[in-house]
Every structure is written in structure tokens, then in C-alpha cells.
Amino acid sequence: MRNNSRAVSPRSTLDSVDKALTLLMMLRGSGEVRVVDVSRELGVAPSTAHRLLSTLVVRGFAEQDRVSRSYRAGRVLIELGLSAVGDLDIRREARRYLLRLAAEVGETVHLLVLEGFGVRFIDGVESSHLIRVASRIGVLLPAHTTSGGKLLLAYASEQRREALLSGRLKRITRDTLVQPDTLTDELDDIKRLGYAMNRGESDEGLRAIAVGVRGGTGDVVAAVAIAVPVARGSARRLREFLGPLHRYADVIGRSI
């Protein structure tokens, strides 16, 4: 009796696995990807790229932005990464306090940690406003372009700061700080003041303010940030968030 079912060759299976792993690495490293990006990177048809992304969404490895329709790292992929670098406990302990902070201030909040010379958004809660800053959970951005990243750099070791400043600083917007002397002065001010601001340096449409979360040893191990659309993001209003930010950062620090 002949079996008419089409067998899947080991080579074909390995090729599919390789494409899926490459896609996971794209999500982990690129922040957000579109179907066309995946199609081009993997050398597959857009329909195939869409099916791969949809499968990852179902499994929790990816999620799709409601507005831009692009894809980013999902809960499962983020937790796998955090468990490897020891930041999963911070995220778990901080979650309930992020929810309370977002409810109190009415804006989008994020929890961030340093990753190399970048900053990873490991959790976040979106504002309920119609016009709001979208969640960036899973996104990796150059640390010097965000409020949380600059805060963490300000408290990082001298060796880490010098290594960053010795390289070429990536410009994302016209307001991104790319001059080492200017950035050094700002990091010194951040350490003195205890908070950092993002004045359109990662996205021209948003403003943000961040403070540090101190672990059991007293070192700053994470940052909590509040991000708002530029229309609601005056420096004065951002500074009004410092009370709630410091209060919840202290609670998170005591809980980890």
C-alpha cells in the first residue's frame, strides 16, 4: 500500500526552525518589525512572513501593536530573556506597582534595565488616554536616547560610561545627544538631581521622566519612567510626577 502523504524532509524542517529562530532574534534585537522586514530578512514571501509572525503571537513570543500593526517581542520571549540575565524577578515584583502608578498619574509607565549599551523596556502599562504613548515592552533602544537609559548610565560604573562615550553615539532624532561632552554633563546633572528627562531624544512626539530603583545593595538596578505625548509633556508637568515616581520606585526597590 502506497502512502500518498507528502513527507517533510529533515532539511526542510531545519530550514523552518532556522527561520523561526532568526525571527525571534529579530524581535529580541530590533524592538519592532514589520511583515515586509521579516520577508526581506528571511527571504520568504510576505504571506509566509505573516504566518510565522501570527504563530509567534499565538504562542506568546510576539505581540502586534494595535496602532502601527508592527510586531514586537511578546511576554514569553521577554521572560525567557529576563530569566537568563536575572531581571525576571524585578519585573514580577514591580508589576503591581506599575499598574498603581499608571492609574495614579494617568500616563504610560515603563520599567527599564540596561542591556549592553542599550536599555530594554522590560514591562509597561499604557495610559487610558485616546492620545497616549504606546507600550514599548521588549524594545531595546540606545541608552543615551531615553530618560530611563540616561538615568541608568548616570549611575553606571565609570568604565561602562567611558566605553559608551568612546564609541559613536547613534542619533535617532534631531534632539538626540550625540556629543560626548554634552552627554557627560547631562549624566552628571542627572546623578546630582536624581532624575532624568527625555526631551524628544528617542521620539520627537514624546517626553518622559525617570527615576532609579535601588536594589538591596543600594545600587540602581532599574529605572521607572513616565512617558507622555509632547502636547502634555512640559518640563513643569513632568516634574510634577517626581513624587509618585520616587514613591513607587522606593517600594519596588524594597520588594526585590
Q: Which of 5-9, 38-42, 98-102, 153-157 has the lowest mean pLDDT?
A: 5-9
Predicted confidence band at 88 (pLDDT cuts at 50, 70, 90)? low
Q: Check: CB of residue 210 under 8 Å from CB of residue 182.
A: no
Confidence of residue 245 (pLDDT cuts 50, 70, 90): very high
pLDDT digits (tens, 9 = 90+) for 118-158: 998 989 999 999 999 998 887 889 999 999 999 999 999 98
Binning pLDDT at 50, 70 and 90, where does residue 12 land? low
Structure confidence at residue 70 (pLDDT): 84
SS3 72: strand
Q: Is 73 helix (H, G, I), strand (E, B) or coil?
A: strand
Answer yes or no: is pLDDT of 15 > 80: no
Protein fold of 86-255? Beta-Lactamase (3.30.450)
Distances (CA, A) of 148 to 155, 187, 196: 11, 12, 7
Distance of CA 189 to the CA centre of its chain: 24
Give residue 99's pLDDT: 97
174-226 pLDDT, tens digit each = 999 999 999 999 999 999 999 999 999 999 999 999 999 998 889 999 999 99
Residue 32 contacts residue 139 (beta carbons within 8 Å): yes
Topology of domain 10-73 in CATH is Arc Repressor Mutant, subunit A (1.10.10)
Cell 532624575 sits at which residue? 195
Give me the chain's average pLDDT, please.
87
pLDDT reported for residue 146: 98
What ranges do the domains of the chain cover? 10-73, 86-255
Question: pTM for the whole thing?
Answer: 0.73
Q: Which residues does 123 contact at the CB level (< 8 Å), separation at least 6?
A: 91, 94, 95, 98, 110, 111, 137
- pLDDT tens, residue by residue, 44-69: 899 988 998 888 888 878 888 766 78
Structure-block grid coordinates of residue 178: 550625540
What secondary structure letter does DSSP report for 1? -
